Structure 1
Amino acid sequence: MNQTEQSSVHPDPSTQQPLEERVNNRSHRPDSDAFRAFMAANWAPSTAELPARADVADHAARRRRAISEQFKGERLVIPAGPLKVRSNDCDYRFRPHSAFAHLTGLGVDHEPDAVLILDPTDDGAGDDGGHHHASLYFRPMAGRDTKAFYADSRSGEFWIGRRPSLAEFAALLGLDTADLAELEVAITKNVGEPSVGGISIRLVRKVDENIDALVDTARYNTAQDPDNMDFGALDAKDEKLAEALSELRLIKDAWEIEQMKVAVAATAAGFEEIIKSLPRAVAHHRGERVVEGAFFARAREEGNELGYDTIAAAGNNATILHWNRNTGTVNEGQLLLVDAGVEAESLYTADITRTIPVNGTYSAVQRKIYQAVLDAADAAFAVAVPGRKFRDVHVAAMEVLAAHLQEWGMLPVSAEVALSVDGQQHRRWMPHGTSHHLGLDVHDCAQARAELYLDGVITEGMVFTIEPGLYFKEEDLAIPAEFRGNGVRIEDDILITAEGPVNLSAALPRTPDDVEAWMARLSS
């Protein structure tokens, strides 16, 4: 092979197009001077009217004020996160990090790469008498006289539509706003050891790797002894911020409670669509996908998205706790367990489970299992009152389930022994927890300390689930044959008030008789 032939087979790497630019090879984009000039001309002006201040703005300001109290004198950096690639040059729909959404009030998909910074001030000289001044940094929409307007498929208005301007977001949220181009200086200015007049940073990590790198570099470059930096201590500082932001969401404010009601109402409507879809699901070779699709359509119509991947599990699949492949059939005589939630435009989500008989009527053994789970849920509701411990909800449900399992002859020991710390045999058929907090995340407040979560006191304003279940697998030889292949879970979303729990999802039937009547009505 001569040199010319060799170079045609193995081209000089220095002349090759960078990988990140090759995604544009699939289409030809005009780039002449004449085209650019023509594209920049003759566009109607954008409206100059600023939006009214959003209802959430004052609530978000109070949340920032509460965090400010805990971290005086420190810069707090809360990223929204970047777009995430689904495949090649296609991104997933954007969803900001929940801490960012909570402190700004921004939902939906406005602000990829945005960062909220709480900059320290003198005590009491910050926003609302606090100790920080908040600023939102994001990429403003490119002007129509720029190439990005028509050439940038991730942020150009021609591709993704118009986004609010800096001034519009400032008016909407009651926040100072700034161009993302100024972010590096905003994060790194005056960083250093507090003992010598510098400012320390706390960061919500693992949201945006570019911001992680920027903060880490600033810390290293300004450290008095960078080669002996205690990275464990820095990680602990950042974890403390994540913990505080999570604990801030344990008690919902009035605006959040209304958003939870919106999400629950949309979810209830989605469950009605599931009932209506059952004839088609039974006839389809992947009936679980029919069920999943019926709910998803309502989630997109009335909300932002699903709060989490829907579990649509028929027959033995209902005994698989996180079955969300949803590839199975839906057959007459089976139970169908659906665990689903609509995420509202504000990003607050519901989380509801109902277990229904595919043919509209529970068999005797299905009704027996269902009633046991309902009894456990009702016992949990009874103790979900202000002043009780959060863990009491689970204990109450387990006592009821263990009693039923003993009655059915399934426990190898007494219910009392099973409920002891050294027993727990009943958990073979109910291995998950009975409750979790709910809000911006389906498992909200997950970074909160155990003493405020599992061992926390139930308090007015909390929103959490109650979701006992029993799961009897086909292959489980420890139980009578007639129980096998049936899984039941009943999950409701409750709001704690001074008077006790309010079932936000009460519009969806819970008792077996009511479920059967509901299905008959929707099927007629």
Structure 2
Amino acid sequence: MFEIDIYRNRRKALKNKKLKGIALLPGNVESPMNCLDNTYHFRQDSTFLYFFGLDFPGLTGIIDFDNGKEYLFGNDVEIEDIIWMGPQVSLNENGQKVGIENTAPLSKLYDFINQAIKQGRKIHYTPPYRGENKLFLEKLLGISAIRIDEYASVELIKAIVDLRSIKEQVEIDEIEKACLTGYEMHVTAMKMAQPGIWEQKITGIIEGIANSGGGMVSFPVILTQNGETLHNHSHNNYLEEGKLMLTDAGAESSLHYASDFTRTVPVGGKFTQKQREIYEIVLAANNKARELTKPGVTYLSVHLAVAEVIASGLKELGLMKGDIKEAVKNGAHAIFFPHGLGHMMGLDVHDMEDLGQIYVGYDDETRPVDQFGTGYLRLGRKLQSGFVITNEPGIYFIPALIDKWQKEKINADFINFEKANEYRDFGGIRLEDDLLVTKEGSRILGKRVPIEPDEIESIVS
């Protein structure tokens, strides 16, 4: 964990948001795989980690906005626990590590909350994403688990998003560690991209690299020669000469900060002319996004500028036609680029989206666009120095989408469907870097994973 003052200052900053009542911040509990004693690898709730730093199950934090006190509730281990897990630090000692003086058994939390309810005090909590915590809050607050999200505190959500969006230097350092592991994962995958190799073999090896880096994968690995499926978690194919292998993967640091990279490489080490032409457009789009990323601009505007780069490049190849700005305005590019440019990243690979993506990715000034493609943009708001974001343009040829638009004559003024059908078996290309927004612009976090086509060919070969 970080130094004690990091957590003290974070809680102080939250109290300075001038909320009334108390913040109820449960950590996560163990989650069974197939029986109570056989659990998934434990992952602490990120908001709890941010304010309390303790990375083990069964804890709940309280921040009292009215009297300034902070509390940690949890149970000390018993002899049976020690037999299986070895000697454990007491709850009070753990509390002192992060500057919490008031600790008590979990049973006392029910008394504390009941008293607050009787006094008519506001109890702020964030929307739970795990069933165990939904039931826990139901028992604590008397609100049906089915309706628990309806009563989550928008005030608390906005306060937390405001604090966690700007990354401290210690957080940036952790993300850089995750990026180093991510770099090794991707270069290893590139070297293994040979005809006849089972996708699952490469996936398993790079997952092992993430684990050996001190954390785990930051999300389930996407590795496939069918890259036209955006989130393809099937790893059943054997790689074929002439195909493209898309790998979207990242790691967590030991403190759970994430990295998230995507690279697309030719199986066997040689791009075809078609593949290199499309690859160069995606690379130009990626570089353009980094060039435009700086404080004060909206990521929505960067996304749309990147869409114009993609549309312009595809027009040169005869896949699109007409006025480029009008094509993007009408969403014609989305047949080839049907997702958003990027998202926030930090303690979660999609940082804070458990709090409500609308609060993380947008603000009162910038609202989501209700249009296919751009409607999937997870981050559109005005950028600030200290944001960590992903930059991940792509071009995909999705046969079902081509068929639908051609049949319904969607954006027929801007798309050459005859030419598009020549690419039906192409797959997809996505190129993703992680960016830190700086005072002057932005920079790539970590050593940039090889991205130039000649370098890619050399590594795979």
Q: TM-score range by the shorter chain?
A: 0.7 to 0.9
Q: Is the 8 A contact 1:465 1:491 kept in 2?
A: yes
Q: Distance in 2 between matches of 1:497 and 1:459?
A: 8
The alpha-carbon deviation at position 464 of structure 1 amounts to: 0.2
**Mapped pair 1:390 → 2:338:** no
State the 1:265 CA deviation. 0.6
Partner of 1:115: 60
Change (3 A) 1:471 1:137: same
Structure 1: 5+ residue runs without aligned partners?
1-53, 123-131, 150-155, 221-230
Contact 2:270–2:457, Cα closer than 8 Å, also in 1: yes
- CA–CA distance in 2 between the matches of 1:234 and 1:378? 40
Between the aligned partners of 1:56 and 1:246, the Cα distance in structure 2 is: 22
Which of 126, 129, 136 lines up with 2:72 in the alignment? 136
**Residues of 2 paired with 1:234 and 1:351: CA distance?**
29
Three-state SS of the structure 2 residue aligned to 1:306 is coil
Secondary structure, aligned partner of 1:191 = helix
1:249 is paired with a residue whose SS is helix
Pair 1:274–1:413, CA change in 2 (3 A): same
**Residues 1:204 and 2:154 are matched in the alignment:** no
CA distance in 2, matches of 1:473, 1:204: 38
- Tell me how far 1:162 sits from its aligned partner: 4.2
Moved over 4 A (4+): 231-234, 452-455, 474-477
Aligned to 2:138: 213
Secondary structure of the structure 2 residue equivalent to 1:338: strand
Residue of 488, 495, 506 corresponding to 2:436: 495
**Counterpart in 1 of 2:41?**
93
Q: How does 1:260-271 map to 2 (within 5 A)?
A: 260-271=175-186
Task: Give the C-alpha shift of residue 111 in structure 1.
Answer: 2.3
2:186 aligned partner, one-letter code: F
Residue in structure 2 matching 1:354, options 248, 252, 263: 263
Shift of 1:386: 1.6
1:309 matched to 2:220? The reply is yes
Unaligned runs of 5+ in 2: 367-378, 404-416
- Distance, in Å, in 2 between the alignment partners of 1:344 and 1:203 is 27
Alignment of 1:131-210 (within 5 A): 132-142=68-78, 146=79, 149=80, 156-176=81-101, 177-192=103-118, 198-206=120-128, 207=130, 208-210=133-135
Pick from 370, 374, 387: which aligns with 2:283?
Answer: 374
1:472 to 393, 397, 408: 397
Is the partner of 1:502 in helix, strand or coil?
strand
Partner Cα separation in structure 1 for residue 348 and residue 115 of structure 2 = 33
1:136 counterpart SS class: strand
1:377 Cα offset (Å): 0.8
Query: 1:483: how far off?
Result: 6.3
CA contact (8 A) 1:56 1:255 kept: no
C-alpha root-mean-square deviation of aligned residues, in Å?
2.5
> The residue matched to 2:227 in structure 1 has which SS?
helix
Question: Per the alignment, do residues 326 and 243 of structure 1 end up closer, same or farther by CA in structure 2, a change over 3 Å counting?
Answer: farther
Q: CA deviation at 1:437?
A: 0.5
Return closer, same or farther for 1:483/1:376 CA change in 2, 3 Å cut-off: farther
The yes-or-no answer on 1:440 pairing with 2:347 is: yes
Instruction: Give the 5 Å matches for 1:214-229.
Output: 214-217=139-142
Displacement of 1:278: 3.5
The total of aligned residue pairs comes to 421
Q: CA deviation at 1:414?
A: 3.2
Q: CA offsets, 1:247-266, max 9 Å, x none?
A: 32111111111111011111
Show the 5 A alignment for 1:288-307: 288-307=199-218
Larger Rg: 1
Look up the equivalent residue of 1:275 and give its one-letter code. Answer: M
SS of the residue corresponding to residue 211 of structure 2 reads helix
Selected match of 1:429 from 318, 331, 336? 336
Counterpart of 1:245 (choices 145, 148, 160) is 160
Q: Does 1:407 align with 2:407?
A: no
Does the CA-based 8 Å contact 1:310-1:339 persist in structure 2? yes
Letter in structure 1 aligned against 2:136: I
Contact 2:290 2:443 (C-alpha < 8 Å) held by counterparts: no
CA distance in 2, matches of 1:162, 1:517: 51
Give the whole-Å Cα distance in 2 for the aligned partners of 1:241 and 1:72. 8
Residue 455 of structure 1, CA deviation: 4.8
Letter matched to residue 199 of structure 1: R
3-state SS of paired residue (2:342):
coil
1:71 to partner: Cα distance: 4.6
Deviation sequence 1:6-36 (CA, Å, 0-9, x none): xxxxxxxxxxxxxxxxxxxxxxxxxxxxxxx
Is the Cα contact below 8 Å between 2:137 and 2:148 reproduced in 1? no
Q: Is the 8 A contact 2:187 2:450 kept in 1?
A: no
What SS does structure 2 have at the residue aligned with 1:418? helix
Whether 1:255 aligns to 2:170 is yes
Higher relative contact order (CA 8 A, sep 6+): 2
Q: Deviations over 1:342-368 (max 9, x none)?
A: 011111110100111111121111111
Cα distance change, pair 360–163 in 1 and its aligned pair in 2 (3 A): farther
Give the % identical residues.
28
AA partner of residue 309 (structure 1): P
Looking at structure 2, the residues matched to 361 and 349 of structure 1 have their Cα atoms a distance apart, in angstroms, of 31
Equivalent residue runs for 1:10-49 within 5 Å: none
Does structure 2 retain, via aligned residues, the 8 Å contact 1:79–1:116?
Answer: yes
Report which stretch shifted further, 70-79 or 204-213.
204-213
Q: 2:414 corresponds to which residue? A: none
User: How does the TM-score come out when normalised to structure 1?
Assistant: 0.75
Aligned residue in 1 for 2:407? none
Instruction: Give CA-to-partner distance per residue, 1:180-213, whole Å, 9 cap, x none.
Output: 23221232224245xxxx4221122425134312
Among 451, 454, 457, the alignment partner of 2:363 is 451
